[in-house]
Amino acid sequence: MSGAIRLAVIGLGKIARDQHLPAIASSDAFELVATVSRDGARSDGIPHFEEVGDLAESNIGVDAVSVCTPPQVRRAVAQAALARGWHVLLEKPPAATLGEAEALRDLACARETTLFASWHSRHAAGVAPARAWLADREIRSVRIAWREDVRVWHPGQAWIWQPGGFGVFDPGINALSIITHILPRPLFVTAADLEVPENCAAPIAGTVSMCDSAGVNVAMELDFLQQGPQSWDIAIETDAGTLRLAKGGAEVSFPDGRQPPAENDGEYPALYAHYAELIRAGESDVDLAPLRIVADAFLKGRHRQVAAFIE
């Protein structure tokens, strides 16, 4: 494919406005040609449609889409796009269930179109240096603390508490996307304790215990009601000391105190650079390891009812 990739953004919620649209605007690889949203949100000067079918029936040429809807409707939207031969980027999590994500992967393969199950936190500045440093180390334990205030980061987003909305795992899956990328062996959930508000279908806090195939313990703490300082931290103890990732992977500290400079312009610009590379190469990137861990935590977890969540 030569020239700019003609891109439509489907779903214009907070993440699309805050991250996707600015990243697309700064990219030479993409041209934003349309937006789709049922709630009336739109980008100034860009053709807008309420349904994917309306876009398909227009005279606008589309090569690719970015699907930024809530996960509960993501499969249907992505399926319609893939059926039309459009390349598809899925905001995380890629779907509401593993089965949906696997079906989209198979459809993209059959249609010979690119499917990118994107994990933006893997493109945080500290992740690549951390992965390279850990490659030659013996890992002894991992601790994850992901604590943020849902009222600050997800205001008014009722879908996050509904079935398929993930609750605290919506941010927590970012941590899982990092550790499944930088650790050398697959992870398995051994136990989970999930706190579910009495008026919600998804957890608001919890812990997840994991181990890798060599028996290394990985402990995760999640809290969606954190007040004061927010924390998105990972500490990995190795035979050469403790490596620390902070601010969601944006900062890495090696045991000797070194902090390497950032090697990219931000998570979402790097995400779109990778999306363009995949399309040009005719390839897909559909790693479902983070989603599988969330599914296993729901399956193996103890679900405890706690006080109602009132925004």
Return the pLDDT at 44: 74
Write out pLDDT tens, residues 107-116: 999 999 999 9
| Angstrom distance (rounded) from CA 279 to CA 86 | 10
Residues 8-17 have a mean pLDDT of 94
Residues 54-68 have a mean pLDDT of 95
Taking alpha carbons only, the member of 160, 204, 193 closest to residue 308 is 204
Confidence of residue 260 (pLDDT cuts 50, 70, 90): confident
Query: Catalytic residue at 92?
Result: yes
Residues 23-51 have a mean pLDDT of 88
Dihedral (CA of 173, 176, 182, 188) sign: negative
| Angstrom distance (rounded) from CA 189 to CA 78 | 29
> If residue 270 lies in a helix (H) or strand (E), which one and from where to where?
helix 267-281
Residues 288-301 have a mean pLDDT of 98
Residues 108-134 have a mean pLDDT of 96
Write out pLDDT tens, residues 149-195: 999 999 999 999 999 999 999 999 999 999 999 999 999 999 999 99
> Domain 5-117 sits in which CATH superfamily?
NAD(P)-binding Rossmann-like Domain (3.40.50.720)
**What is the total residue count of the chain?**
311
Residues 213-221 have a mean pLDDT of 97
Return the pLDDT at 285: 98
> Is the confidence at residue 133, as pLDDT, over 90?
yes
The least confident of 102-111, 263-272, 282-291 is 263-272
Percentage of the chain modeled with pLDDT above 70: 97
Pairing of strands 30-36, 48-49: parallel
> Is the confidence at residue 259, as pLDDT, over 90?
no
Residues 6 or more apart in contact with residue 275 via CB below 8 angstroms: 64, 66, 87, 89, 114, 116, 118
> Is the confidence at residue 264, as pLDDT, over 70?
no
Return the pLDDT at 263: 66
| Angstrom distance (rounded) from CA 8 to CA 34 | 5
The structural domains of the chain, with segments of one domain joined by +, span 5-117, 121-264+294-306
Return the pLDDT at 25: 95
Residues 15-29 have a mean pLDDT of 95
Residue 118, judged by CB atoms within 10 A of its CB (0-12, 13-18, 19+), counts as buried
Catalytic residue among 14, 92, 247, 300: 92
> Is the confidence at residue 1, as pLDDT, over 90?
no
Taking alpha carbons only, the member of 153, 156, 169 closest to residue 96 is 169
Q: What is the mean pLDDT of the chain?
A: 95
Q: What angle in degrees, to the nearest 10, is found between the helix axes of 289-300 and 169-182?
A: 120
Q: What is the CATH number of domain 121-264+294-306?
A: 3.30.360.10
**E strand intervals along 41-82:** 48-49, 64-67
